Amino acid sequence: MNPATVSVIIPCAGMANFLTDAVDSVLRQDHPIHEILIVHPAGDVETALVGQQYVRRGAPVVLLEGPESGPGPVRNVGLAHATGEVIAFLDADDLWPAGKVSMQLDRLAMEPQVDAVGGLAVHFEFLDKCELKPTADPGNVVGVSSVLGMMIFRRTIFDKIGGFDEDFLYAEDIDLFLRMRDFGVSSTILDATTLYYRRHGNSMMLADNPRKRTDLMLATMKSVRRRRQIGLPPADKQMLTGDLESWPRDRP
């Protein structure tokens, strides 16, 4: 087994009703998880209560209070406290497939120059609570998305390019991927499911907020300026749009 220590950062604000599914999907991984850092606003009592239940059971859960200013600052709180060699993120309303972590760690171990490993996301609405996986539904969509929960990252990435840009309310993940590309961070995408992405009415991404468009434009413009400053030509493609790397299909 790959001995790498894994820190999982779960931001949670007003999503305590989904949090148990997320944490259980992490705890069921066949690779031991070093720590699960749940970062929540100070006033989110429901999230704190759910997290405390895991702490009392001896699960490797750490509760941290974070700001209410958006996902980027919250994830930075998790990064500041994380002690693992490998960093992973999971939104409180999403889940991980069984075997996801060991599969991606195996890929990292194969090539030390690869610093991040992604995969495919299944977008779903209905969950089998016993199996912790989406129920069969023709509305489920499988594909490559710019979603942090699909990835695992060597900690050294953040030492190199920094944490999340706190200028963003949306697209802080896109900005991170663009910085990885611009600074030559090596990554790959497995042709295997590494995230179950839940669709629901309270999702931040469904909110009618003009910041979704303007923050995406801001991430793009920051990348353009950054590439000019470091002497790179204009980018010919966005992050996470390359060919999928073949991987055994009998893995989850």
Q: Which CATH superfamily is domain 6-229 in?
A: Spore Coat Polysaccharide Biosynthesis Protein SpsA; Chain A (3.90.550.10)
Give, as one character, the DSSP assignment of residue 169. S
Candidate ranges 47-61, 137-151, 198-212; pick with highest mean pLDDT:
47-61
CB atoms within 10 A of CB 81: 14
Q: Is the pLDDT of residue 5 over 90?
A: yes
3-state SS, residue 38: strand
For 165-193, what is the mean pLDDT?
A: 93
Q: Could you please report the per-residue DSSP string of 48-104?
A: HHHHHHHHHTT-SEEEEEE-SS-HHHHHHHHHHH---SEEEE--TT-B--TTHHHHH
Of 94, 89, 99, nearest to 127 by C-alpha is 94
* pLDDT, greater one: 250 or 165: 165
Share the mean pLDDT of the chain: 91
- Supply the pTM of this predicted model: 0.92
Q: How many CA atoms lie within 13 A of 187 on its CB side?
A: 27
Q: Which residues pair with 62 in a beta bridge?
A: 37
d(CA 32, CA 27): 8
Residues 6+ apart with CB under 8 A from 19: 10, 12, 38, 47, 50, 51, 92
Q: Could you please report the per-residue DSSP string of 187-216?
A: EEEEEEEEEEEE--TT-GGGS--THHHHHH
Give backbone dihedrals phi and psi of 71, rounded to 5 degrees, phi first.
Answer: -65, -35
Residues 6+ apart with CB under 8 A from 99: 29, 30, 251, 252
CB atoms within 10 A of CB 16: 18
Q: Is the pLDDT of residue 116 over 80?
A: yes
For 95-112, what is the mean pLDDT?
A: 96
Q: According to the model, what pLDDT value does residue 200 have? A: 86
Q: Is the pLDDT of residue 146 over 70?
A: yes
d(CA 187, CA 152): 10
d(CA 60, CA 29): 13
Q: What is the pLDDT of residues 187-236, one digit of tens each?
A: 999 999 999 999 987 876 667 788 889 999 999 999 999 999 999 998 87
Give, as one character, the DSSP assignment of residue 151. -
d(CA 79, CA 82): 5
